[in-house]
Amino acid sequence: MVLCQPPPSRPTYKMVSVEAGHEAVWSCPYVSTVSLLMVTWKTKCSTCCLLAYRSDHNETRKLNCSERMMWKYSPDSDPALHIYPVNLGEEGNYTCEIASSAGHFIFPSSLTVIVPPTVTLTCDQSRVAVCQAICWKASC
């Protein structure tokens, strides 16, 4: 008999920050492989990515997901979401939903994509060094 940890009393909100071009990976905090029925990752809108696994059919589905968005490992053992390489379009809110014999659990999270500025160093007409940075996000 396998005993599983109970889920937290309130869902924890996980914030993930990743530099553009790198890898983003995050898991649902509660997984019971014995009683797991279904795991679903959803992005911020109804027409966006849906990544799902149904254990009773050993079936995975991808709807409106880029090729860069997938399971990190096998969803029945660790339903971690993996995005590589991350780009600015993936920034936003994500939700992992677990359906198990113990109930239905929702774990919200957000992804912030960090885009470093482009820096140039030149000399002006007076031979004074001029450093300029171009930011690719409005939040810079």
53-90 confidence digits (pLDDT tens): 888 888 889 888 888 888 887 777 778 899 999 988 88
Q: Which pLDDT score is estimated for 111?
A: 92
Q: What is the pLDDT confidence band of residue 28, given thresholds at 50, 70 and 90?
A: confident
Q: Give the range with max mean pLDDT: 5-9, 12-16, 135-139.
A: 12-16
**SS3 state at 128:** coil
Q: Which pLDDT score is estimated for 89?
A: 85
What secondary structure letter does DSSP report for 5? P
Q: Which pLDDT score is estimated for 35?
A: 74
Half-sphere exposure of 91 (CA within 13 A, CB side): 14
> In terms of pLDDT, which residue wins out, 46 or 35?
35
Question: Distance (Å, rounded) from C-alpha 138 to C-alpha 44?
Answer: 20
Task: Give the start-to-end residue ranges of the domains of the chain.
Answer: 14-115
Place of tokens 């171009």: 134
> Is the pLDDT reported for residue 137 higher than 70?
no
Report the CATH fold assignment for 14-115: Immunoglobulin-like (2.60.40)
Q: What is the pLDDT confidence band of residue 22, given thresholds at 50, 70 and 90?
A: very high
Q: Which pLDDT score is estimated for 49?
A: 85
Q: Which pLDDT score is estimated for 74?
A: 74
Residues contacting 70, CB < 8 A, separation 6+: 51, 62, 82
Q: What is the pLDDT confidence band of residue 2, given thresholds at 50, 70 and 90?
A: very low
User: For residue range 84-123, what is the model confidence (pLDDT) as tens digits?
Assistant: 999 888 888 999 888 888 788 888 999 999 988 888 888 8
Nearest to 30 by CA among 49, 50, 53, 12: 12
